[in-house]
Amino acid sequence: MENYPAPARALVAQMTAAAIAEPARGVAFQGAPGANSHIAVLEAFPDALPMPCFGFEDAIDSVRDGIVDRAMIPIENSLHGRVADIHFLLPESGLWIIDEHFLRIRHCLLGRSGETIVEAMSHPQALGQCRHWLRTRGIKPIAYPDTAAAAAAVAANPQPGVAAIAPALAGELYGLDLLAEAISDSDDNTTRFVVLARDPIEPEVNGPVMTTITFEVKNIPAALFKAMGGFATNGVNMTKLESYQRGASFAATEFFADIEGRPSDANVARALEELAFHSKWVRLLGTYRQARPRLVTEG
């Protein structure tokens, strides 16, 4: 908590104490109060007690250690792709994905009315998503580890002409004026979050569900092609397949995938069985309701 700017610390302490007192309602998130992750928790769980954590590992550990029952972690963004390191953290966490949530990102310029803004502080991704807006106004981007924490820093250390790019909620929490809103260069800026828990939960919905897996194929020719064949022949829609390499090795490639359906579905079970035959290992990360339809294009 000592790493947060001063205006955020009291809020962090208050929110943390409330979540710890009622773990079943507690939902950990990464970032300072007012961050997009904070907003995602409020949208997905209106009755939850959001608990700020400085890093992704801290949020994951709070669930693994039983401090709170759930965590909400961003996994990918429509403009910038997957969130850094999350593909390593999820499999190693020992937690299960039990839900997903999509949040529309609305960047705002927060500061003090009447000033000519010459610098804007924010997370590098937020700055990148607003770079054209900033450039046309001659505002210099300044990188900061967190969007909401940048707003707290501007509130804590007033400097003429310095503002923050953060959600409007951060401005409300830290007493900053809303100088401009909807400043993203793209109107369809959306982040996908997943909800983590210590135990898997079988989705009760009758509608579409997602299953997330990680795997490493055998080091033989056409292993990935053969492993993927089972999904095609069994009619299982794979909505995401991303590769990543662990450590300094360029030999062992691991994969992160989302598929539609449950492992208990006959066609999914057959596809996973074929995947396992061509892989060194396959790990299920969770089955959960589909919060947004995945479009299947033909032709």
Whether residue 113 sits in one domain with residue 98: no
Tell me the pLDDT tens digit for each residue of 60-108. Answer: 999 999 999 999 999 998 887 788 778 788 888 999 999 999 999 999 9
Could you tell me if residue 1 is inside a domain? no
- Calpha distance 33→27 (Å, rounded): 13
Could you tell me if residue 51 is inside a domain? yes
Q: In terms of residue numbers, what domain contains 256?
A: 209-289
Whether residue 193 sits in one domain with residue 94: yes
Q: In the prediction, which pLDDT does 219 show? A: 83
Whether residue 280 sits in one domain with residue 229: yes
Number of domains present in the structure of the chain = 3
Could you tell me if residue 75 is inside a domain? yes
- Calpha distance 72→194 (Å, rounded): 6
Answer whether 122's CB lies under 8 Å from 150's CB. yes
Six-digit token pair at 130? 């607003």
Whether residue 193 sits in one domain with residue 82: yes
Among candidate residues 171, 197, 223, the one where a domain is terminated: 197
Could you tell me if residue 26 is inside a domain? yes
Give the count of beta carbons closer than 10 Å to the beta carbon of residue 6: 11
Whether residue 47 sits in one domain with residue 117: no
Whether residue 132 sits in one domain with residue 97: no
Could you tell me if residue 203 is inside a domain? no
E strands present in 16-63: 26-30, 49-53
Q: In the prediction, which pLDDT does 197 show? A: 98
Three-state DSSP state, 47: coil
Q: In the prediction, which pLDDT does 62 show? A: 98
Whether residue 174 sits in one domain with residue 135: yes
Residue located via tokens 């998130």? 29
> What string of pLDDT tens digits covers the 299 residues of the chain?
458 999 999 999 999 999 999 999 999 999 999 999 999 999 999 999 999 999 999 999 999 999 999 999 999 988 877 887 787 888 889 999 999 999 999 999 999 999 999 999 999 989 999 999 999 999 999 999 899 999 999 999 989 999 999 999 999 999 999 999 999 988 889 999 999 999 999 888 778 999 999 999 988 888 889 899 999 999 999 999 998 877 666 666 889 999 999 999 999 999 999 999 999 999 999 999 999 988 654 44
Q: What are the DSSP calls for 67-126, one per residue?
A: SSSEEEEEEEETTTEEPTTHHHHHHHH--EEEEEEEEE---EEEE-TT----EEEE-HHH
Q: In which element (H, E) is residue 257 found?
A: strand 253-260
Q: In the prediction, which pLDDT does 206 show? A: 78
Could you tell me if residue 297 is inside a domain? no
Whether residue 61 sits in one domain with residue 37: yes
The CA-atom distances, in angstroms, between 273 and each of 215, 227, 256, 260, 276 are 12, 9, 17, 16, 5
Q: In the prediction, which pLDDT does 298 show? A: 47
Which sequence positions are flagged as catalytic? 191, 193
Whether residue 122 sits in one domain with residue 83: no
Q: In the prediction, which pLDDT does 295 show? A: 64
Tell me the pLDDT tens digit for each residue of 12-50. Answer: 999 999 999 999 999 999 999 999 999 999 999 999 999
